[in-house]
Amino acid sequence: MNVLFLTQTGALGPSSRYRVYQLLPLLREHGIEGAVSPAMGDALYRELYLAAGRAAARRAAFGAVWRQRRSDLCRVGEFDAVVVQKGVFPGLYSGFERRIAARKPLVFDFDDAIWLPRQGGAPLLRLLHRERAVQDVLRCAAAVIAGNEVLAEYAGRFNRRVCVVPSAVDTDRYPRSAGNATVGWIGSRTTLAYLKPLAEVFRKLNVRPRVIASGDPAGLGFETEFRPWRLETEVDELSQIGIGLAPLPDSPWERGKCGVKLLQYMACGIPVVASPVGVHNQIVRHGETGFLARSAGEWETFLAELIAHPGMREKFGAAGRELARQTYDVRQAADRVASLLKTL
């Protein structure tokens, strides 16, 4: 079976990396050959997301996506099915997906609440966002793959065939954490702000968190140990922290997130403290793999306990590592995707 995967980015982009690229070798074992066409190459992605994201880069990205997808339409007939990862222009335009679906079975995969008003980005794109465009894509798809139950519930209003495939990690890639008391966080330039509400907690505990990010955290208002994110060093940097943070505000967009950073922590055997928002409630087993903190006071209490008790860190970390292997390993995700594709 030959499948064309239309991804948003190359492997540098986390969503495309976890939802598509890491699955390809495993899908091949199921007899599925995947060809990937990223809408945005690595050079443009670096300029747009890993650098300052200048207006010129945004205009270049829009034009590049349009040209690439027009080219892809010319070769859709060579494949048995097409998987569109997160949409060509999510919330803006569904014409490409409709044209693909008219020729081949289209599977739509998404891992964010993309029907909601756009978060960040150019003001013009936020102004033009239309929920109806997302609904059109869901309706025309032969099947939908959703990253969690929140997304699946929405997709189910417009498509009868929705399969939940949680975002997963290749647990074999992650070495065991050093087991120290270093508090750390990994994320992107756009999600650094999630750390701001913890500033007072860090001050009270005299903690300077290690921040692995694609953007400079200097504007957060507290001191950090900054480690620039690079794909080549990501896993090694993660293994050097001992307590993983995953704060989130309880808002509709965040409830649609898939919790990949928690899976990365747990794959390394790192105990976690997370906000009880969305899928975090399913991933974290409170008091077994980490803690769910509902207030600043709880964040302070739970972090203090993990910092003070190496045995607790070891116990929680081991339980989290085992849970990641059993439930959130990439091989399980590949099995589910392969089963769905073979039924088309």
> In degrees rounded to 5, what are phi and psi of residue 122?
-70, 140
> Rounded to whole angstroms, how far apart are CA atoms 327 and 169?
10
> Rounded to whole angstroms, how far apart are CA atoms 3 and 264?
28
DSSP letters spanning 115-142: TSPPPSS-HHHHHH--HHHHHHHHHH-S
Question: In sequence order, what E strands does 165-322 have?
Answer: 183-187, 210-213, 225-228, 243-246, 272-274, 290-292
Contact 51, 12 (CB under 8 A): no
All CATH 3.40.50.2000 domain ranges in the chain, comma separated: 2-168+329-342, 171-327
Note the pLDDT of residue 58: 72
Q: Write the DSSP symbol of residue 286.
A: B
Characterise 120 by phi-psi region: left (phi > 0), alpha (psi -120 to 50), beta (else): left
Fold type of domain 2-168+329-342: Rossmann fold (3.40.50)
> Rounded to whole angstroms, how far apart are CA atoms 155 and 77?
27
Contact 269, 318 (CB under 8 A): yes
| pLDDT tens-digit profile, the chain (344 residues) | 999 999 999 999 999 999 999 999 999 999 999 999 999 888 888 877 776 556 666 777 788 889 999 999 999 999 999 999 999 888 889 999 999 999 999 999 999 999 998 766 667 677 778 999 999 999 999 999 999 999 999 999 999 999 999 999 999 999 999 899 999 999 998 899 999 999 999 999 999 999 999 888 998 989 999 999 999 999 999 999 999 999 999 999 999 999 999 999 999 999 999 999 999 999 999 999 999 999 999 999 999 999 999 999 999 999 999 999 999 999 999 999 999 999 99
Note the pLDDT of residue 48: 75
User: Environment class of residue 334 by beta-carbon count within 10 Å: exposed (0-12), middle (13-18) or buried (19+)?
Assistant: buried
Starting at the edge strand found earlier in the chain, the sheet holding 210-213 runs 225-228, 210-213, 183-187, 243-246, 272-274, 290-292
Tokens of 340: 């769905």
Note the pLDDT of residue 61: 77
H-run or E-run covering 285? none
For domain 171-327, is the CATH number 3.40.50.1580? no
Characterise 206 by phi-psi region: left (phi > 0), alpha (psi -120 to 50), beta (else): left
Note the pLDDT of residue 120: 63
> Rounded to whole angstroms, how far apart are CA atoms 334 and 27?
6
Residue among 263, 214, 191 nearest 22 (CA)? 263
